[in-house]
Amino acid sequence: MLLCAVLKKPIYLDYNATSPVHPEIKNHLPEWAGIWGNPSSIHGHGREAKRILREARQAFADLIGANPLELIFTSGGSEANNTVIKGLLESEAAKTRKQIISTRVEHPSVLKSLEYAEAHGFEIKYVDVNSSGHLDMDQYKDLLSDQVLLITIMAANNETGNIFPISKMTELAKKHGILFHSDAVQTMGRMAFNVEKTGVDFASFSGHKFYALKGVGVLYSRRGQNLPSLIHGGGQERGRRAGTENLLAIASLGYMAKKLSACDLHRESMMLLRDHFENRVVSEIAGVQVIGKEGKRLPNTTSLVVAGVSGESMLMSLDVRGYSVSTGAACSSGNPEPSHVLLAMGLTEDEAHTSLRVSIGWLTTTEEIDGLVDTMIPIVDHLRKLSQRQNLEASVEA
């Protein structure tokens, strides 16, 4: 009976991991798949494919306030982040500027690229984030100097939804001639991000976080910044990223960019739903705390800690009952390590092990949110009793 219910309607509440493909995109796929030429070919088939590329590039540039020539299509956000950080290590400025500023709550594709930079002789300075999700701006200011090559700080955090003050930070960075990159992957479909208003030199985006297909991202690289290519071997993207373009996914990204430009991103309705979820869960389940609530947040993300309940057990129990949520970043799921984001915000390892992330999207309904809370209540009760029993048995054995 339970399995039937699960198979009938699994409910997806993990939009920060990925979003479903927009229904209108599904309708357009056969048409786009019919345009299969290689955009680098100069004959008719190639030109038709190139038109798709050009239109998508223009649509995305309009969305973020960029010039189309400032965009490089990549395979996703991870590649865009790697391209900026690793690419700049080879720049002229990198001969004299040997420091990079970042935070410890970045996506692993940034953190691992920073480890790479460190292995190549660069010093990484991390700005602290407090338990409310605020960056220590005094520390940030103190770290700025003409020794710094790059600042890479995300626009919004994938686990807590916390939003960082990018415009303020780029303004300060400019006084020292420091380049600024922002991983803006989680902003799309949740908040506006404009490269002129934020003043960034580089920004990363990913299609599958805003209802487009997987396998496409965008790197914004301000005019005049000549980043070396991470992938060599072809002249695509004006020599900035080799490899035949993922045309179908790029078409879907362009389509969604147009849609995002024309709508209010459903911010209000997502925020109302998120608040409804948080109010219910905090008032109906004892020992629940919303992480980063005091900071500015995306309208769709809730990060919780549920005292005495393992996030992993909660996730699996909810999954069996047809609810897809997360314990943190998608890439960390199945990984017993506690969330690096929550640890950086000052939670203990035990607390971080009790975390659960619920991230909603344009298609989420009140019924789904109410269903989740109604399902969570007995699960929390059961898991707490189970862990009390285990503790008791352990103490008797000892």
Ligand X SMILES: Cc1ncc(COP(=O)(O)O)c(C=O)c1O
Catalytic residue annotation: 331
Which is closer to ligand X, CB of 78 or CB of 236? 78
Part in contact with ligand X (CB under 6 A); list of ranges 27-35, 75-83, 234-242, 261-269 = 75-83
DSSP annotation of 295: S
Q: Residue 282 class from Cβ within 10 Å (0-12 exposed, 13-18 middle, 19+ buried)?
A: middle
Cα(384)–Cα(140) distance, rounded to whole angstroms? 41
| 181: β partners | 152, 202
Residue 388: both structure tokens together = 């009390």
By CB under 6 A, tell whether 107 contacts ligand X: yes
Which is closer to ligand X, CB of 279 or CB of 335? 335
Which amino acid belongs to residue 53? L
Which is closer to ligand X, CB of 79 or CB of 201? 79
Exactly one of 77, 189, 292, 361 binds ligand X (CB under 6 A); which one?
77
Q: What is the footprint of ligand X within residues 212-241 (CB under 6 A)?
A: 217
Exactly one of 83, 186, 236, 303 binds ligand X (CB under 6 A); which one?
186
By CB under 6 A, tell whether 328 contacts ligand X: no
SS (H, E, C) 342-362: HHHCCCCHHHHCCEEEEECCC
Provide the strand spans (E) within the chain. 11-12, 71-74, 99-103, 123-127, 148-152, 179-183, 202-206, 217-221, 288-290, 301-306, 323-324, 355-359
Residue 79: both structure tokens together = 């590649």
Kindly state the smallest distance separating residue 189's Cβ from ligand X, in Å. 12
Cα dihedral: 51, 52, 58, 60 (round 10): -170
Kindly state the smallest distance separating residue 354's Cβ from ligand X, in Å. 22
Kindly state the smallest distance separating residue 337's Cβ from ligand X, in Å. 16
Closest CA to 133 of 152, 151, 156, 110: 156
Tell how far CA 384 is from the center of its chain: 31
By CB under 6 A, tell whether 158 contacts ligand X: yes
By CB under 6 A, tell whether 11 contacts ligand X: no
Which is closer to ligand X, CB of 353 or CB of 357? 357
By CB under 6 A, tell whether 285 contacts ligand X: no
Closest CA to 364 of 130, 13, 6, 77: 13
Part in contact with ligand X (CB under 6 A); list of ranges 51-59, 132-140, 183-191, 302-310 = 183-191
By CB under 6 A, tell whether 206 contacts ligand X: yes
By CB under 6 A, tell whether 154 contacts ligand X: yes
Part in contact with ligand X (CB under 6 A); list of ranges 7-15, 41-49, 182-190, 318-326 = 182-190
Part in contact with ligand X (CB under 6 A); list of ranges 50-58, 180-188, 284-292, 354-362 = 180-188
Which is closer to ligand X, CB of 249 or CB of 281? 249
3-state secondary structure of 71: strand
Q: Which residues bind ligand X (CB under 6 A)?
A: 76-78, 107, 109, 154, 158, 183, 185-186, 206, 217, 330
